[in-house]
Amino acid sequence: MAGADPEPRRGALRPASAAEPVVHGDVVEVVDLTRSRVIVDEDGVRWRRRGGPIDERRLRRLLADPQVRVVHEYLFDLVDVAPERRAAFWDEAQAKVRTSAYAEPLGAEFVDEARRRLLVVVERC
């Protein structure tokens, strides 16, 4: 998605059950963070998924909340989406959905022990 996002941070979030990506020869197995029950961030904080994939209404509410950390994952790149950038981020995601039969943004909500919330948005295509 276009915009002045910070540099992607590879490996900033990972499933708690896998320290390294699974590699089969030249192929790296893609792990869908939205399906992971527990993920670990770059600081070692464990985040537990709340329920399953969230619907669009819940996703938009979480995007609008500046207290929620939002991470966009696309093709192995992880980028934090700043609160002031989230409306444009969602508009761009919806534009992709309208122009491609294969584009699909999925979200999952996670919480840590301090009850902070994390929204992971994965772009599938």
25-82 pLDDT tens trace: 666 555 678 888 998 888 889 999 999 889 989 999 999 999 999 999 877 678 899 9
C-alpha 8: how far from chain center: 12
Look at residue 72 and give its three-state secondary structure.
strand
CA 41 to centroid of chain Cα atoms:
12
d(CA 23, CA 28): 4
| pLDDT score for 113 | 96
Asked if pLDDT for residue 16 goes beyond 90, the answer is: no
Residue 42, both tokens: 């770059």
Residues across the chain: 125
Quote the pTM value: 0.77
Q: What is the mean pLDDT of residues 111-121?
A: 96
pLDDT of res. 34: 84
How far is Cα 31 from Cα 68, in angstroms, rounded to an integer? 23
Provide the mean pLDDT of the chain. Answer: 81
Lowest mean pLDDT among 4-8, 14-18, 31-35, 93-97: 4-8
Task: List the end-to-end C-alpha distance of the chain, in Å, as a whole number.
Answer: 13
The pLDDT value recorded for residue 125 is 62
